[in-house]
Structure formats: structure tokens, C-alpha cells
Amino acid sequence: MSIDNTTIQDQDDNNTNTNKQLRKISHPPALRIIPPLNFCPVEKQLYRSGQPSIINQSFLNELNLKTIIWLASEEPSDDFLEYCNYNDINIEFIGMINEFEYDQQRLQNPWDSLTDSTIRKALQIIVQKKNYPILISCGMGRHRTGTVIGCLRRLQGWNLASVSEEYRRFTGARGGRILVELLIEGFDINSVEIDLEKAPDWLKVD
């Protein structure tokens, strides 16, 4: 029985191509690193964003977060809570309030749940380097987060024009809220207690 050498060669070529295809398929897909909505570095190891979702977890892993300051009045998603628990990340629930507090605060601050007291609590965490790296977050990463960042900038000695410009950069087409800017302007920065020996290196105050 004669065997056609051409047929054997064709079979070898097909096997080679199949093996190449298998090798290509065997490679895992590239890891997608996607930052959360409105993510931005604020200072060294200090970040801001909207609420992270599952697709942002690989990105968060790169930050090695120790603390997340949660400013929204509602609880974060279960996926986010599970991620923080699994990675031993401490969540500080600064903006969440009970029904009585909500009724009281609406009279003083109808646009949001943040008050001088909650802003001060957030800043007291930020001015202690033992809490770093830190992510400051709320639902969209705009107004509540922008309020705390604005007060931090005042603490750093920024002028109000620069503070407002940074705040409005994250508010999108809807624009900023004048009451937010008034709250930032009126916040008593001297009420924040700072121990410079325990503060992050970038924080310089008079």
C-alpha cells in the first residue's frame, strides 16, 4: 500500500496549526484595570472616587488601601463591603445617619447629610498617617467627596478660587452646588486637631 507524501505533509501542517491555535487559546485574558468613577489622586496615598464596583476591584488592589472613608448617607453595595472585609480594609461610615438625625439635619442642611461635624470626623482621619493609604468615596464621588476635599484644601492653605475650581471639575454638566461651596467656605479649619508628628508628610499647615 503506497502512502502519498503530500497527504502526510498536509496532515502535519494541519496538526501544527491546531497546536498553535491551542497554545493561543491557552493564554489567560489580560487583566483589565479599570478605575472607579471620578477616581483621582488627591495627595500621596490619598485618593477620591465614586462608589467602586466589581470591575474596579483589580484597580483597587493596586492601591493597597488601609482605610475607606464612606461619605454617602446610604450603605455601600454588598459586593463593596465583601471586598473590604476580604482585604481587611477599614471602612469609616462618616455620612450615614439614622432617621432622627436626618430629620434634624434637613432643617440645617437640606441639600445633603454632611455637616461641620461629619466633615471634621473625616478630616481627623485624613490628618493621621496611620490610616494610609486612604480612599474618600461616596455614591458618585462628586458633592460629598468634593466637600471634604474642599475643606482639606482650605486646611492646606489653598485660596477659595482654587478650591472651587477643583470642586467644579468633578461635578460634570450639572455643575456645582452653591451651598456646597458656602459650606466649604464657612467650615472652621481651626476645629481640626493636627499632630504634625503623626500627620502625612505632605500636610503642611501654619
Question: Could you say which of 40, 84, 138, 151 is catalytic?
Answer: 138
Q: Which residues pair with 59 in a beta bridge?
A: none
Give DSSP secondary structure letters for 105-120. HHHH-TT-S--HHHHH
Q: Identify the structural domains of the chain with CATH numbers, from first to last.
A: 40-186 (3.90.190.10)
Over the chain, what is the mean pLDDT?
Answer: 84
pLDDT: is 168 or 7 the higher one? 168
3-state class of 41 per DSSP? strand
C-alpha cell at position 195: 499632630
The answer to whether the beta carbons of residues 58 and 127 sit under 8 Å apart is: no
Q: What is the pLDDT of residue 57?
A: 96
Q: What is residue 103's predicted lDDT score, i.e. its pLDDT?
A: 47
Quick one: angle between helices 160-169 and 178-186, nearest 10? 140
- Cα–Cα nearest to 71, from 138, 149, 118: 138
Percent of the chain with pLDDT over 90: 64
pLDDT recorded at residue 74: 86
The owner of cell 494541519 is 14
Query: If you search the block for the grid coordinates 497527504, which residue do you land on?
Result: 7
Task: Give the integer Cα–Cα distance in Å for 185 and 198.
Answer: 26
Q: Say whether 8 sits in a helix, a strand or coil.
A: helix
Sheet holding 67-70, edge to edge: 40-43, 46-50, 134-138, 67-70, 90-93
The secondary structure element, H or E, covering residue 134 is: strand 134-138
Residue 167, pLDDT > 60, answer yes
Is 151 among the residues known to form the active site?
no
pLDDT in tens, 12-43: 555 555 555 545 555 556 667 899 999 999 99
Question: Over 80: is that where the pLDDT of 155 sits?
Answer: yes
Contact 129, 42 (CB under 8 A): no
Cα Rg of the chain, angstroms: 25
d(CA 150, CA 15): 64
